[in-house]
Amino acid sequence: MDWPEPGTSVKVVVKTWSGIAEHEGLSLPSAGPNLVTMKLANGYNVSYPESYIESVELIEDIQIVVEEETQPSPQDESLPLVHLIHTGGTIASKVDYATGAVTARFEPHELLDAVPELRSIARIRAIKLGNMWSDDIRPRHWNRMLQATSEAFSEGAVGVVITHGTDTLHLSSAAMAYGWAGNGGRPPGRIALTGSQRSPDRGSSDAAENLIAAVHWAANGPNPTGYRDSSVVILHDSSSDGKCAVLPGVSCRKYHSSRRDAFRAINQGPIAYILNDGNGPSIEMAEHEPADARVEAISPMLFDEKIRIAQLIADPHLHPDQVRVTMDGGFDAILFHGTGLGHLPLMDPQEDSPENTRLRLMIQEFCESEGVAVVVANTIEGPINLNVYAKGREQQEIGIIGHGSMCPPSSGLVKLHHLLSRGGGREMVKSGWSEDLCGENPHDSRE
């Protein structure tokens, strides 16, 4: 049927088994096949089969009942100061009453109103950097987050919580870690990144508990040493409520697209857990070797926003033309996601795949011209070990960097950008790649 555009004020007459009924409200996108959906003036949604519709009439704009905004109540000045830096994502979503969709337009102060428990944990100052879906975030936004954390600490904050979409949260957490601790220092306070897999309008939302846990860590967690804890990711530890995991921000990965416990630490365990049994959050530290505190950094090192890195996956469709494009396109480095222990299709034992030979020669040419080629593991866990097989040793001979690393791919991308931002090109990456800058490459975890 000819249903008006979403957000149009309409009066609908429907004929149901119980008789004729009239409804006034806003037209919404259909909730299902052959359904007409609208939002009533009282704020509720209603759907009817198209066959039930007797008539549709456009009317003057009507007012939809929404909760009025209230002025934030005064905060307890005796509590520690935590800056809540808002970038967007599902944790900061709300229903758009014009369309019925969940959109990222939750203002920072609304988080405080929605989660009143935060006011008893810390004195919150909310800073809005943007309302972005995390897949739209670029290195320039990492720099803005780093600058915002630096400003927070200079203003007396003991900790910072960055609310962020989960899809690239692990990349931004790694950027916070390398920015503050990649040169051997530590941040002046705690930095926690959190998000949610399910938006606050859903009954199964994890938003509130994740946010409470993150703010509690930022306000009351141990002082950061700069190793593994320079930034942390805090999200549900399981699908059930009551326990959130504190993961090293420099070494975690999103492993599930929809579960509430979507993140795991890679090649190492959690730093701690935040327990919340309804009587308020508490911290339970996990067992791990304590690290000596580093010298406090005055400011973070920012990323060179002009650097461009190409990522290529080692599989049957990796071709030399792809490497040629990166060479001709002026990319600063290539990050290969290698199979198994870090291998690329560079050999032709059956003499029926000449593209493998061309790929090897092209990568060799790239490295000999001071190009930076690094390989990370495409597996979930485990090291890059290019000494086990002959082809791994040949990869090292032609100049591919990566042997011995435990750094997961996402953190590896950020680490590569960090090392290139220091200057020194290939030699800087080669010398820094095997180092354990801030917990991404724990040598005691290698097998």
Query: pLDDT (tens digit, 9 = 90+) per residue, 286-344?
Result: 987 778 899 999 999 999 999 999 999 999 999 999 999 999 999 999 999 999 999 99
Mean pLDDT, rounded, of the chain: 88
Instruction: Tell me, yes or no, if 167 is annotated catalytic.
Output: yes
Selected catalytic residue, list 37, 149, 163, 166: 166
Q: What is the pLDDT, as a whole number, of residue 447? A: 46
In the chain, where are the structural domains located? Answer: 9-58, 81-285, 309-445
Q: Which residues have C-beta within 8 Å of that of residue 257, sequence separation ≥ 6?
A: none
Instruction: Tell me, yes or no, if 194 is annotated catalytic.
Output: no
Give the residues across from 23 on adjacent strands: 12
Number of other residues whose CB lies within 10 A of the CB of residue 325: 13
Q: What is the pLDDT, as a whole number, of residue 256? A: 87
Selected catalytic residue, list 90, 163, 168, 326: 90
- 9-58, CATH topology level: SH3 type barrels. (2.30.30)
Q: What is the pLDDT, as a whole number, of residue 341? A: 96
Give the residues across from 15 on adjacent strands: 20
User: Which residue do the tokens 């009317």 mark?
Assistant: 59
- Residue 277 to residues 108, 242, 261, 281, Cα–Cα distance (Å): 26, 6, 18, 7
Q: What is the pLDDT, as a whole number, of residue 304? A: 98
Q: What is the pLDDT, as a whole number, of residue 408? A: 94
Query: pLDDT (tens digit, 9 = 90+) per residue, 254-268?
Result: 888 888 788 899 999
Selected catalytic residue, list 167, 206, 229, 261: 167
Q: What is the pLDDT, as a whole number, of residue 446? A: 45
Instruction: Tell me, yes or no, if 326 is annotated catalytic.
Output: no
Measured in whole angstroms, the distance separating CA 415 from the mean position of its chain's CA atoms is: 16
- Show the beta-strand stretches assigned E in 73-158: 81-86, 94-95, 102-103, 123-128
Question: The tokens of 142 are what?
Answer: 């990492």
User: Do the first three CATH levels of 81-285 and 309-445 match, i.e. the same topology?
Assistant: yes
Q: What is the pLDDT, as a whole number, of residue 100? A: 54
CATH 3.40.50.1170 fits 81-285, yes or no: yes
Instruction: Tell me, yes or no, if 391 is annotated catalytic.
Output: no
Give the three-state DSSP class for 177: helix
pTM of the model: 0.82
Buried b (16+ CB within 10 A) or exposed e, 272-293: bbbbbeeeebebeeeeeeeeee
Low-confidence ranges of the chain (pLDDT < 70): 1, 18, 43, 63-73, 89-111, 198-204, 444-447
CATH 3.40.50.1980 fits 309-445, yes or no: no
Selected catalytic residue, list 87, 163, 229, 254: 254
Q: Give the residue ranges of DSSP H helices in 243-399.
A: 320-328, 354-368, 390-397
